């Protein structure tokens, strides 16, 4: 995902990507930085990463979207180019209270992308349209 | 998208005594901006139609125009224009499905126009004291984010094809509660839906009717202020040039529209 992120967050993900490529671990200082920048959803997002909860869906047209399995088992669809998640935390904390940049699901997407642990799944163009519109899913 | 709006205004500006130098005034933002047109629906729809026609005729791009209510008196030239596709989804769900499926088209649009976002987003349950309900913030964000993401994807497709139609832009109109004249609403309260939309639309075109004697002085029926502005962006995000343009619009009895750069 591009844009919508402060420079400090973008740099943090670049640092995580680099160190994870070399060591397959995230050192304590970067974990602390994650908590500092993103607050309580940092640990929750890392749990989702550990559970390999993020899947990148792609269709023959080239269109892509992310799906995240939440803690309750519910599927959340997030977009590539801007921040959106249908979860209540995004609606309340980000949209209504403007108290956070993103929810744990979107953060989990960023982390999985940085760590290259995103699952991949191919679906048809029609299925992709249903996923994007929120009317269906694979 | 404000580059297309600026082109519309310049095309319809007075031929005499008007500086048509493209470098006049501040530059428009990067053309991939998404623009929200805020103001009275009657005029905003006209602005959207003008944008569609300008984009199709002057720039030669494909346009996808979505509206909830059918345009009854569509000019014949628009009916025959193969570059503009008009769609009339009745509900938000239908609109989401149609926008979400744009990636399936072999010839994707370069301009996506949505007329009256508020009509699609307004809650199904009528309420006498509020136009929007709590769930509408998430729905507004979903629609706006889908538009944003779709435009980004179609831009990539057009650029990969080496098309001069890239980037893909979006423009949508929105009638806020303030503009709809809801008397029960606290005039000092912000519109929460507009706040949500501002997250996804980088630029805004505000239409504000001039109620002074300026219209009469210009022998016009109506006079409007048209403000092009960039929405607020967090300080540490990379952003383009600040957008601030003001135009004056005069509407004459025979329907003629004339823009003047202020």
Q: Which residues of B touch A65 (CB under 8 A)?
A: 149
How many residue pairs bridge chain A and chain B with CB atoms within 8 Å of each other? 89
Q: What sign has the CA pseudo-torsion B113, B116, B119, B122?
A: positive
pLDDT in tens, B223-237: 888 888 885 444 334
Q: What is the ipTM of this complex?
A: 0.93
Neighbours of B10 (CB within 10 A): 18
Distance between CA atoms of A5 and B255, rounded to whole angstroms?
45
Q: How would you label B175-186 residue by residue, b for 16+ Cβ within 10 Å and e otherwise?
A: bbbebeeeeebe
B160 to chain A, minimum CA–CA distance in Å? 11
Distance between CA atoms of A8 and B243, rounded to whole angstroms?
25
Written as six digits, the tokens of A50 are: 């550990």
User: Are the C-beta atoms of B58 and B9 separated by less than 8 Å?
Assistant: no
Distances (CA, A) of A72 to A32, A68, A75, B138, B172: 26, 11, 9, 19, 35
Residue B99 touches chain A, beta carbons under 8 Å? yes
pLDDT in tens, A9-59: 999 999 999 999 999 999 999 999 999 999 999 999 999 999 999 999 999
Strands B244-251 and B257-261: antiparallel
A106 to chain B, minimum CA–CA distance in Å? 13
pLDDT band for position B27 (50/70/90)?
A: very low
Which of A81, A83, A134 shows the shortest C-beta gap to B152? A81
pLDDT in tens, B36-81: 999 887 888 888 888 888 888 888 899 999 999 888 777 776 666 7
Phi-psi region of A123 (alpha: psi -120 to 50; beta: other; left: phi over 0): beta
Fold of B4-12+31-123+130-206: Rossmann fold (3.40.50)
Q: Is the pTM of this model over 0.95?
A: no
Chain B residue with Cα closest to A83: B145
Domain boundaries, chain B: 4-12+31-123+130-206
Determine whether A21 is exposed, middle or buried from the number of CB atoms within 10 Å of its CB (0-12, 13-18, 19+).
Answer: exposed
pLDDT band for position B189 (50/70/90)?
A: low
Residue B234 touches chain A, beta carbons under 8 Å? yes
Strand partners, A120: A56
Written as six digits, the tokens of B36 are: 């929200």
Please identify which residue in the block is written with the tokens 């000019």.
B75
Residue B104 touches chain A, beta carbons under 8 Å? yes
């Amino acid at each position: 995902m591009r844009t919508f992120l402060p420079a400090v967050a973008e740099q943090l993900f670049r640092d995580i990507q680099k160190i994870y490529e070399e060591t397959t671990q995230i050192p304590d200082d970067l974990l602390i930085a994650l908590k500092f920048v993103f607050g309580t959803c940092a640990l929750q997002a890392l749990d989702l990463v550990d559970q390999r909860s993020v899947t990148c869906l792609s269709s023959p047209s080239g269109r892509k979207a992310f799906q995240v399995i939440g803690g309750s088992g519910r599927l959340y669809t997030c977009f590539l180019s801007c921040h959106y998640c249908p979860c209540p935390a995004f609606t309340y904390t980000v949209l209504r209270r403007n108290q956070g940049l993103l929810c744990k699901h979107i953060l989990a997407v960023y982390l999985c992308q940085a760590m290259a642990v995103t699952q991949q799944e191919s679906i048809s163009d029609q299925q992709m349209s249903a996923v994007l519109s929120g009317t269906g899913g694979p | 998208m404000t580059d297309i709006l600026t082109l519309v205004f310049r095309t319809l500006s007075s031929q005499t005594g008007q500086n048509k130098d493209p470098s006049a005034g501040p530059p428009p933002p990067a053309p991939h901006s998404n623009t929200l047109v805020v103001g009275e629906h009657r005029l905003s729809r006209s602005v959207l139609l003008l944008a569609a026609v300008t984009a199709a005729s002057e720039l030669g791009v494909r346009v996808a125009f979505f509206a909830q209510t059918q345009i009854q008196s569509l000019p014949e030239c628009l009916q025959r224009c193969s570059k503009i596709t008009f769609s009339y989804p009745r509900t938000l769900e239908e609109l989401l499905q149609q926008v979400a499926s744009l990636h399936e088209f072999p010839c994707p649009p370069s301009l996506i126009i949505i007329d009256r976002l508020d009509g699609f987003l307004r809650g199904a349950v009528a309420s006498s004291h509020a136009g929007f309900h709590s769930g509408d913030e998430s729905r507004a964000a979903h629609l706006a984010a889908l538009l944003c993401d779709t435009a980004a994807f179609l831009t990539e497709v057009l650029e990969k094809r080496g098309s001069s139609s890239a980037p893909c832009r979006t423009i949508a109109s929105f009638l806020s509660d303030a503009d709809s004249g809801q008397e029960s609403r606290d005039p000092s309260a912000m519109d929460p839906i507009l706040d949500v939309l501002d997250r996804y639309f980088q630029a805004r075109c505000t239409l504000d009717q001039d109620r002074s004697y300026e219209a009469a002085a210009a022998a016009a029926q109506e006079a409007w202020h048209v403000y092009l502005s960039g929405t607020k962006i967090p300080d540490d995000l990379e952003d383009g040039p600040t957008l601030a343009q003001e135009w004056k619009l005069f509407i004459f009895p025979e329907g003629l529209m004339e823009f003047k750069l202020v």
